[in-house]
């Protein structure tokens, strides 16, 4: 039995190096925050930064105090060969996280608990594990922005339009702002997608999903965060958006959603997949779900597809 242990103290220098060289270690580029989140992770003071990572016989132990998540991921990647994509989207603040003797997949889930990310195990045809990938998607910015008078006026118009039931007016206001400052317009939608009013969140996601200039990973990250939304309409739109725009990543995200204990989430995913038509292995996989309602929903959609072919 061989154990790999890494101890790093006062880790600020390592983070700067890792960020500067991340293209050599990770591939820039889902959180399911409730779907993937289990574990205690809190923002920590900047003092007394310590990090200990142990990889022993396929089990992971992490003790981190006042360390940035990117540093923890770097050590895990170095010891386990996990691939981390989207490191640049991870918040910079130091965190405190502790877990002991868990699987690699579970450890990554805990570490990425509160940001839009997904942990994927990619296998060869014969089922042997090929790679574990942690993909992190874009987040709404958390920074103070200084806008010029013209941009500020157009921004105010967009915010006012998002507070109404007039989607067309909100879309027009977005396009007007985007013509002046496309990046600022996208940032405002990302912030609005996390607002207190469900109508605003839904409209922001609807516009964001159709914004031609929006980065696809940023949009997908907003949809992933919305999977945890309290508003059923927002969750349903997020699921549809992931199914339509997510491609292979979207299928991975929805598979993770189907692995949760949230029956309502599972049923919404199955309905979204079923309504889109076409072939999806997720319906077949759901036939083995623990909950009878989930199995029945998957069976119903598969039967409907079979009838449509005859």
> Judging by DSSP bridges, how do beta strands 83-85 and 129-136 pair with one another?
parallel
In a domain, 48, yes or no: yes
Rounded to whole angstroms, the Cα distance separating 75 from 96 reads 15
Handedness of CA 303, 305, 308, 310 (dihedral sign): negative
Q: What is the dihedral of CA 41, 248, 242, 113, to 10 degrees?
A: 0
Max CA pair span of the chain: 68
Domain that holds residue 21: 3-136
Examine the pLDDT at 38 and tell me if it is beyond 60: no
Instruction: Of 42-56, 91-105, 240-254, 257-271, give the lowest mean pLDDT range.
Output: 42-56
Q: Is 180 in a helix, a strand, or coil?
A: helix
Number of domains into which the chain is organized:
1
What are 233-265's pLDDT values in tens digits? 999 999 999 988 888 888 888 998 898 888 999
Strand stretches in 57-177, DSSP E: 59-68, 83-85, 94-102, 117-123, 129-136
Examine the pLDDT at 75 and tell me if it is beyond 70: yes
| Predicted TM-score of the model (pTM) | 0.62
In a domain, 113, yes or no: yes
Structure tokens at 43: 């923002």
In a domain, 212, yes or no: no
Give me the mean pLDDT over the 76-98 stretch.
82
DSSP 88: G
Please state, rounded to an integer, the average pLDDT across all residues of the chain: 77
In a domain, 25, yes or no: yes
Give me the mean pLDDT over the 273-285 stretch.
85
């Amino acid at each position: 039995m061989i154990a790999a242990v890494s101890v790093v103290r006062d880790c600020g220098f390592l983070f700067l190096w890792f960020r500067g060289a991340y293209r050599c270690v990770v591939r820039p580029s889902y959180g399911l925050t409730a779907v993937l989140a289990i574990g205690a992770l809190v923002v920590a003071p900047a003092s007394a930064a310590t990090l200990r990572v142990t990889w022993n016989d396929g089990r992971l132990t992490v003790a981190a105090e006042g360390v940035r998540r990117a540093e923890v991921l770097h050590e895990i990647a170095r010891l386990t060969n996990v691939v981390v994509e989207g490191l640049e989207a991870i918040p910079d603040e130091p965190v405190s996280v502790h877990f002991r003797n868990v699987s690699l997949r579970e450890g990554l889930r805990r570490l990425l608990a509160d940001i839009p990310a997904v942990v994927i195990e990619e296998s060869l045809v014969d089922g042997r594990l090929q790679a574990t990938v942690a993909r992190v998607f874009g987040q709404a910015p958390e920074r103070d922005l200084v806008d010029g008078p013209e941009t500020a006026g157009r921004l105010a118009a967009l915010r006012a339009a998002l507070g109404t039931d007039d989607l067309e007016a909100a879309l027009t206001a977005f396009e007007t702002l985007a013509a002046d400052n496309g990046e600022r317009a996208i940032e405002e939608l990302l912030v609005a997608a996390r607002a207190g009013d469900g109508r605003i969140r839904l409209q922001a996601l609807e516009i964001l999903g159709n914004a031609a200039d929006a980065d696809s990973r940023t949009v997908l990250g907003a949809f992933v965060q919305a999977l945890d939304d309290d508003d059923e309409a927002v969750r349903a739109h997020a699921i549809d958006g992931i199914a339509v725009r997510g491609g292979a990543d979207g299928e991975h995200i929805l598979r993770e959603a189907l692995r949760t204990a949230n029956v309502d989430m599972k049923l919404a995913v199955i309905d979204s997949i079923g309504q889109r038509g076409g072939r999806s292995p997720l319906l077949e996989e759901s036939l083995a779900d623990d909950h009878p309602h989930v199995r029945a929903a998957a069976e119903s959609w598969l039967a409907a597809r079979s009838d449509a072919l005859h």
